[in-house]
Chain A
């Protein structure tokens, strides 16, 4: 593993570059195919509404995959991630229009741990709502 960020250069509170990720219906169909999760709540509006959702929602695992990019893009080596966990608190609702939805992800170093690792706490929101809770990653730095 060769993270491009040095442990000694990082302080508690260091902010990682925030990113905004688009989520379109087409992206959800592509993710369904790649992941094998074909639950119709992620692509079929009629079905989603029948089970009480406001509209089609993104796969929680899609949102989880996007959020960690803030960490892997920062660290350089995705293999530097040694732990990653989230709670799915609110769905990302994806309307069938030209825009879709966006997920905004910010992150900062919350703790310096042993073996050159740091804990990064992530915040992911969509339409002003927090969509991931307890979102934390542990990353091994250089």
Chain B
């Protein structure tokens, strides 16, 4: 069943702050095998003009995707998450995420489309720091594959 178009433009309440820790950034950088010292050495990060270690570009997805759970699990929207695959992902950065940030995410449903029985959902996550400054925006396209005929 196609998703309700009236959800387009719906914005969900901001999430509780996520505090970005140096060791979480290190753990993520190690997991992707990236030895760039800007991720682990505060002095190296400062030499590049950052106030503390910064996070790899895709790190923030863990935070925005968790926030998008409000959309994905909204019982009124009724998305079948067991059929969802990640279609596209895009980030636009005002500045890199860095250790010490306390980030909130505000998720908005940008578009809902139905193509060949698949439901396609674009969710925008606006990420702000504790001062209310915009840090990054994440766009996530989710595709719920058509249910098989039973």
Contact = CB atoms under 8 A, between A and B. Distances in A.
B89 A83 contact: no
The prevalent SS among residues of B at the interface is mixed
Interface string B13-50: 00000000000000110111110101100000001111
Given A2-B48, A34-B28, A83-B90, A64 B58 contact: yes
Contacts of B91: 83-85
Contacts of B49: 1-2, 77, 79
Interface residues of A, number: 34
B interface bracket (residues with beta carbon within 8 Å of A) = 20 to 34
A121 to B, nearest CB: 14
A108 B31 CA distance: 26
Given A61-B61, A77-B48, A85 B90 contact: yes
Would you list the 9 A-B pairs with minimal beta carbon distance, nearest first?
A85-B90, A34-B31, A79-B96, A65-B32, A65-B58, A77-B48, A30-B31, A31-B31, A34-B28
9 contacts: A34-B30, A36-B62, A61-B58, A68-B56, A78-B36, A79-B49, A79-B95, A82-B93, A87-B88
